[in-house]
Amino acid sequence: MRSKPLTLKILDIASLLALAVATYLALIYAPEEATMGQVQRVFYFHIGTAWTGLLGFVFAAGLGVVYLIKQDLKWDIAEVAAVEISAVFFFITILLGSIWARPIWNTWWTWDPRLTTAAITELIYAAYFMLREGIEDPDRRARFGAVYTLVGGLSAPITFFSIRLFRTIHPVVIGSGDPGATGAFAMTSGMLLAFFFALFTFTLIFVDLFWNRVRMGQLAAKVEQLKINLMH
């Protein structure tokens, strides 16, 4: 395996620096929200991770389509990388949401349409890895994985639009949501800066992790091929 490309090294450092700045903006620069207090600061990373998580699931579905057309395992490696990183990001989203909900909704969890669809999405992708583990043939595994991500990818827009389509207590920060939502707030310019910078940071981190994870997938494929060669 070739050593890490310089661009990727720069991207690694840029991601870490961006994360440091995003943390500063979220924790110190952005003003305290008047009704929720400090816990509102969780929102910046909650949305950032949700954004990359859901976008990553849709991206993985796209990579699945490309695999089905091209039948080349390199697209499968990329698809797995996208799903894995998105699943980690989305898991963080759910945890942060739950921590925010405790003081605001007075509960860690409620079966609200947004929370339910989010939990289902995460479980769909946990099952994706179980499915892959159960198939030994690489081509068959890739084909099943591609079809699965294609169907599973539908859960991302459903989760995104759930708070805009159904009656919910989950707030909609951008655009108009349910009037019965609890925890909605108007963003000041300082908050908007922290918000958009968090979106940018998590997109950058996603790209960086994706590149690193694809390289790891390529190495794993080489190891697997060497094992097969030695057995024959």
CB of 189 to another protein, least distance (A): 19
Stretch near another protein under the rule CB under 8 A, chosen from 128-136, 173-181, 183-191, 221-229: 221-229
State yes or no: residue 55 binds another protein (CB under 8 A).
no
Residue for token pair 């739950």? 98
Between CA 44 and CA 39 the distance in angstroms is 10
For 37, the 3-state DSSP assignment is strand
Running DSSP on this structure, what letter comes out for residue 149? H
CB of 99 to another protein, least distance (A): 4
User: Which long-range contacts does 137-142 make (Cβ < 8 Å, 24+ apart)?
Assistant: 138/73, 138/76, 138/224, 139/71, 139/73, 141/76, 142/67, 142/73, 142/75, 142/76, 142/79
State yes or no: residue 33 binds another protein (CB under 8 A).
yes
CB of 14 to another protein, least distance (A): 16
Q: By C-beta, is 114 or 150 nearer to another protein?
A: 114
At how many degrees (to 10) do helices 73-105 and 42-70 cross?
160
State yes or no: residue 21 binds another protein (CB under 8 A).
no
Indicate which single residue of 29, 68, 73, 91 sits in contact with another protein (rule: CB under 8 A): 91
Applying the rule CB under 8 A, the residues between 97 and 116 that interact with another protein are: 99-100, 102-103
For 185, the 3-state DSSP assignment is coil
Q: By C-beta, is 64 or 97 nearer to another protein?
A: 97
Q: How many residues bind another protein (CB under 8 A)?
A: 38
Between CA 85 and CA 54 the distance in angstroms is 11
Residue 130, burial from CB neighbour count under 10 angstroms (0-12, 13-18, 19+): exposed
- Per the CB < 8 A criterion, the answer to whether 128 and 148 are in contact is yes
123 contact partners, CB below 8 Å, separation of at least 6: none
CB of 231 to another protein, least distance (A): 11
HSE, side-chain direction, 13 A CA sphere, residue 121: 32
CB of 167 to another protein, least distance (A): 26
State yes or no: residue 231 binds another protein (CB under 8 A).
no
CB of 38 to another protein, least distance (A): 4
Indicate which single residue of 68, 184, 212, 214 sits in contact with another protein (rule: CB under 8 A): 212
CB of 120 to another protein, least distance (A): 20
Name the site residues for another protein (rule: CB under 8 A): 1, 23, 27, 32-42, 45-46, 49, 88, 91-92, 95-96, 99-100, 102-103, 209, 212-213, 216, 219-220, 222-223, 226-227, 229-230
